[in-house]
Amino acid sequence: MGEQPGDVEDRRGEPFVGPAGKPLDKALAEADLDREGVYLTNAVEHFKFTSDARGTRRVHKSPVRGEVTACLPCLHAELARVDPDLVVCLGATAAKAVLGNDVKVTERRGKPEERGGRDVIAAIHPSAVLRAPDRDEAYQGFLADLRAVRRHLGT
């Protein structure tokens, strides 16, 4: 579960098909997790954005807590319908939606927890890899998060 759709995801109507989808796909493959067996969604279903200075590009803007809270009933209903073996929260917004507002992904990443009768693991968001000064180091950390998911699933 990610934060919210990005520009590409919003236009295509599918999660993780934009820039953040590339490191996600790569890490899923390296962690031996089949993307076809993974249900991808977001904590917030709408793309919040501002326009760039020229008004030609939609620039991501993080949702505020009230927007996340407003989307929780839909998220809970979606999780009840899908009934996943494990919820993996990619990034702070998703982690806060599921684990609570005080969660710090950097402190809890890769560690299984239980919330509401579901196993949950927090991980960094794949877009953090793209923004990191040392992309290789960030990617290796993200891959370690997904390998923790693989170990927890025991498949």
pLDDT digits (tens, 9 = 90+) for 95-127: 999 999 999 999 999 999 999 899 999 999 999
| pLDDT tens digits, 21-45 | 999 999 999 999 999 999 999 999 9
The residue type of 83 is D
Evaluate if pTM is beyond 0.85. yes
Are 122 and 108 spatial neighbours (Cβ–Cβ below 8 Å)?
yes
What is the distance between the alpha carbons of residues 119 and 111, in angstroms, rounded to a whole number? 10
Domain architecture of the chain: domains with CATH: 7-153 (3.40.470.10)
Mean pLDDT of all residues in 132-142:
98
**% of the chain surpassing 70 pLDDT:** 99
Distances (CA, A) of 106 to 25, 54, 121, 125, 142: 22, 35, 12, 11, 11
Say if residues 130 and 23 touch (Cβ distance below 8 Å). Answer: yes
